Structure 1
Amino acid sequence: MRCGSVTTRPGDTELISAIGLAAALVLLIVMTVRGVNILLAGPVAAALVALTSGLAWLPPLAGEGTPDFATSYMGGFTGFFADWFLMFLLGAIFGEVMGASGAAASVARAVVARIGIRHAVLAVVAACALLTYGGVSVFIVGFAVYPLAVHLFSEANLPRRFIPAALCFGSVTFTMTSAGSPEIQNLIPMQYLGTTAYAGWQVSLVVAVLMATGGYLLLDRMVVRAVKRGERFERRPSDDGIVAGENLPHPLLCLLPLVTVLIVFLLFQYPQGLPGVAAVLPAQSLGKWALVLALGCGTAVAVLVGIRARAGMPAAFSRGATGAVVAITNTCAVVGFGSVAALSPAFQDALSVVRDIPGNPLIGAAIAVSVIAGLTGSASGGQTIALPLLAPGYLDAGADPAQLHRVVAIASGALDSLPHNGYVVTTVRAICGETHQRAYPAIAVLTLAVPTVGLAVAIALFTMF
């Protein structure tokens, strides 16, 4: 094995690679939790994988046609940036404009007035769920709902360290992987299994209700206990300065930007499925670019809603642009690590092991996707790596495609939310300005434990019926 000047016996390659991959994952998690910038932690951990896996450091040192550390890491990093930067940019600006216009504060106060501050947490979760199931990317939902969450938690005087947990729970659990969800985590299995987005909807509905109810009760209990211990909302200079007597836009008017995003996205994402629309819209779906158009339209409406606060709009656009760059590069750093990890011999050996798990194929698929999603810190990554290898064998063995689709989708949203997950890092640090020490324990309960229980229930129901 060769990596720079390191030479080992061929028989030691697999063992050293396995130790290196495990150590790199632990190192990445520890550095992330301790607050090391993910832009440093990601490449350092990836370098450890490369060192123990025989990858050359630079392209000139690699053999012809063989990968190297620098190219592989930057390929993953820049690939994600190129695919998603416009969505991050417009999503961040949309969220800032919602805050600067007073729209978030207006909706927050209306919710508190109507359902009481006791349900402020529920309002945040519901807003995230609405956007996620409506088709807005989970990476964008946090930007859009965070201003609303700040005002809700402020009005209710609840500990702000639970805002990331509420955002994550409403975005990446019971909606992201449910039947009918337009999120890519529910759509990827279709191309490998020949299914539809509604595969296994009966079981999916039961599991979604179970996760939503159980997760909310857990989150609410954690918040109530923290309040009883004396924790309260902590204001920051960056919070929008909305005073009690300020004349805010009407709450129903403030919902227009969110409704605009949902409607425009659906119109251009599924024009062929909407009667009477195909004649005036492109017959072909715009795919992810429908989200760019939707966020642009939503931002324009938000600016009009907050026209009386137009003096603060340039600053809001600037904050959004800066926040978008920070958020997407945080995620890119983790994607780059996953790209290098996927090249290690240990990772390939792990794929072979999970592919050959005997017994119920649903259990085998669940374990395989969960493990790979955890290693790469990506739900979609876990699916795209595992399904091409696992799907043909499981289908040949007689596995039901619809059941396999639903299990794979739910499994991808279980262990993917470890501390180094790009969405988690973005939500905790870039969007909410929190630390992992304060925010992640609640996130772990809601995005690791709850989906894992849901996955077990799904497999049990499919097996029984």
Structure 2
Amino acid sequence: MAGLFGIILSLGLLMYLAYRGITVLILAPLLACVAIIFSGEGAVLLGTYTQIFMQGLGGYVIKYFPLFLLGAVFGKLMDDSGAARSIARYLVNKLGTQHSMLAIVLACGILTYGGVSLFVVGFAVYPIAAALFREASLPKRFIPGAIALGALTFTMTALPGTPAIQNAIPMLFFGTDAFAAPLLGIIGGLIMLVGGIWWLSYRVKSATAGGEGYGNHQDEIIEVDTSNDPGIGISLLPIILVITTNFVLSKYLLPLVDSSYLAEPKYGSTTLNSVLGTWAIICALVTACLVLIITNWSRWKNLKSTINKGALGSLLPIFNTASEVGYGSVIASLGAFVIVRDYLVGLSPSNPLISEAVVVNILAGITGSASGGLSIALNTMGETYLNLGAQFNISPELLHRIASMASGGLDALPHNGAVISLLAICGLSHRESYPDIGMVAVIIPLVALAVVITLGTFFGSF
């Protein structure tokens, strides 16, 4: 019982202290030690840290660093070239002020579906959203909800082909690609999009009917010269390339490659299916980056600085997540974890999809990170769910899509780093804007997940 209490205490402290702003780089190893001590294995603290925690951390970096690196560089290139701003402005101009909310959501959705990170999207779209909402006399407090809906929901976990890390992580565990269970993903994504738009529109209508306008806000928006920004065609081209290149490579070209050499020990004795999805996303992002550089050649003020900042910007996110994975590896090594694992698997003995969704969601909520919770869940129980899937005739593609969608629910609780950063960008507080973020990024995605689990249970993967 002491070991089980130690795990619960450790997880609770991780959630609370992360919310208080303490970096997970420090929290993860320290709280892993707390769990170890309560388990009665304090004598092996150093061995556990170097041989389990660091092995888990390092293994995650080895698997996913190329995706974090290329995604961050691509996002910075989209930002500094002005392409991200161009896409947002184009949608705003086409849809007009009467559809302000939809314009902002779609702008964020297109950018994140093309591989641009939330932070780049937030900085690029917020000034446009603030100007648009002020002009239309819409309450500013709804801007974070609109950005969260476009960046943290359907394009992050549901839509097939998204290069988001939350869609990439399950590939290595289930031997799938980024387009797993495409129709189910589209259905789930539409529920999130339509449900979120309905909610925000209802809230805006209610607020404006009560006489609420933009509000008295001292917006500190830095004016950016947009006269040299690229046109919409050049701006959208890299986004289109990420999706199409990923699809063609994963479905048609890479399966034709002679990959027999991968069976050799020096290549990890692996198979093409285990790396195909990752290879496709790497190639897609490299292609998009090169095209983005070439088509905007005259616009680069300092290309070297842009690339360097993008590369350095990838380090903290991946090491934060990798530290959480190392923490999960330690927890999974403890004897008391067997009790936790058996309990979670037994939540729905006849339907592993429910257990998988609950486990991923809870861990994402505790860590305040979709990728962190998903990584811990699959590192500790991925093989278990794959075996259960074979036992109950559940395809790996369906396991992939449920795991990915489950990571985007409780992760967006108030202590989530992306939520805190988004509110900081917009200059708003949790009290002002979190109720709408919570609805569009937590409640509605959970409803979408439940619908997809139900459809997958009765009709399988499609």
Match status 1:255 vs 2:255: no
Contact conserved, 1:105 with 1:151, CA < 8 A, in 2?
no
Q: Residue 355 of structure 1: which of 328, 345, 348 is its match?
A: 345
Match status 1:110 vs 2:96: no
* Identity score, percent: 31
Stretches of structure 2 that go unaligned for 5 or more consecutive residues are: 259-271
Contact conserved, 1:29 with 1:419, CA < 8 A, in 2?
no
The answer for the alignment partner of 2:220 in structure 1 is 235
Q: Residue 324 of structure 2: which of 309, 319, 334 is its match?
A: 334
Deviations 1:57-113 (A, max 9, x none): 767x65xxxxx1343222222222222223222222222222222222222222211
Q: Residue 447 of structure 1: which of 416, 434, 441 is its match?
A: 441
The answer for the alignment partner of 1:37 in structure 2 is 23
Counterparts in 2 of 1:42-57, with a 5 A limit? 42-56=28-42
Amino acid at match of 1:108: A
Find the aligned partners of 1:190 and 1:251 in 2 and give their Cα distance. 32
The answer for the alignment partner of 1:21 in structure 2 is 7
Contact conserved, 1:199 with 1:403, CA < 8 A, in 2?
yes
Find the aligned partners of 1:452 and 1:316 in 2 and give their Cα distance. 37
The answer for the alignment partner of 1:299 in structure 2 is 289
The answer for the alignment partner of 2:190 in structure 1 is 209
Structure-2 change in CA distance of 1:163 and 1:21 (3 Å): farther
Calculate the TM-score normalised by the size of structure 1: 0.72
Counterparts in 2 of 1:249-288, with a 5 A limit? 249-272=230-253, 286-288=276-278
Find the aligned partners of 2:447 and 2:379 in 1 and give their Cα distance. 23
Structure-2 change in CA distance of 1:305 and 1:365 (3 Å): closer
Deviations 1:251-305 (A, max 9, x none): 222222222333333333333499xx999xxxx7853133333323322332334
Contact conserved, 2:171 with 2:178, CA < 8 A, in 1?
yes
Tell me which protein shows more helix as a share of its residues.
2
Amino acid at match of 1:235: E
3-state DSSP of counterpart to 2:333 = coil
Match status 1:379 vs 2:371: no
1:343 is displaced (CA, Å) by 2.3
Find the aligned partners of 2:204 and 2:52 in 1 and give their Cα distance. 42
Q: Residue 64 of structure 2: which of 60, 75, 84 is its match?
A: 84
Find the aligned partners of 1:351 and 1:300 in 2 and give their Cα distance. 45
Amino acid at match of 2:54: M
* Greater Cα shift, 332-341 or 185-194: 185-194
The answer for the alignment partner of 2:106 in structure 1 is 126
Structure-2 change in CA distance of 1:360 and 1:458 (3 Å): farther
The answer for the alignment partner of 1:7 in structure 2 is none
Find the aligned partners of 1:322 and 1:121 in 2 and give their Cα distance. 33
Structure-2 change in CA distance of 1:92 and 1:365 (3 Å): closer
Q: Residue 317 of structure 1: which of 301, 307, 331 is its match?
A: 307
* Greater Cα shift, 328-337 or 215-224: 215-224
Structure-2 change in CA distance of 1:118 and 1:51 (3 Å): farther
Match status 1:71 vs 2:51: yes
Amino acid at match of 1:306: N
Contact conserved, 1:174 with 1:209, CA < 8 A, in 2?
yes
Structure-2 change in CA distance of 1:206 and 1:309 (3 Å): closer
Contact conserved, 1:370 with 1:415, CA < 8 A, in 2?
yes
3-state DSSP of counterpart to 2:21 = coil
The answer for the alignment partner of 1:152 in structure 2 is 128
Find the aligned partners of 2:243 and 2:181 in 1 and give their Cα distance. 25
Structure-2 change in CA distance of 1:448 and 1:57 (3 Å): farther
Match status 1:174 vs 2:154: yes
Please provide the CA RMSD for this pair: 4.4
Find the aligned partners of 2:332 and 2:248 in 1 and give their Cα distance. 37
Contact conserved, 2:126 with 2:426, CA < 8 A, in 1?
no
Find the aligned partners of 1:346 and 1:373 in 2 and give their Cα distance. 21
Amino acid at match of 2:67: M
Corresponding residue pairs, total: 427
Find the aligned partners of 1:197 and 1:248 in 2 and give their Cα distance. 31
Deviations 1:160-203 (A, max 9, x none): 98777656544554355548456686688899999998887666
* Greater Cα shift, 25-34 or 211-220: 211-220
The answer for the alignment partner of 1:65 in structure 2 is none
Structure-2 change in CA distance of 1:389 and 1:29 (3 Å): same
Contact conserved, 1:179 with 1:200, CA < 8 A, in 2?
no
3-state DSSP of counterpart to 1:248 = coil
Calculate the TM-score normalised by the size of structure 2: 0.73
Structure-2 change in CA distance of 1:329 and 1:412 (3 Å): closer
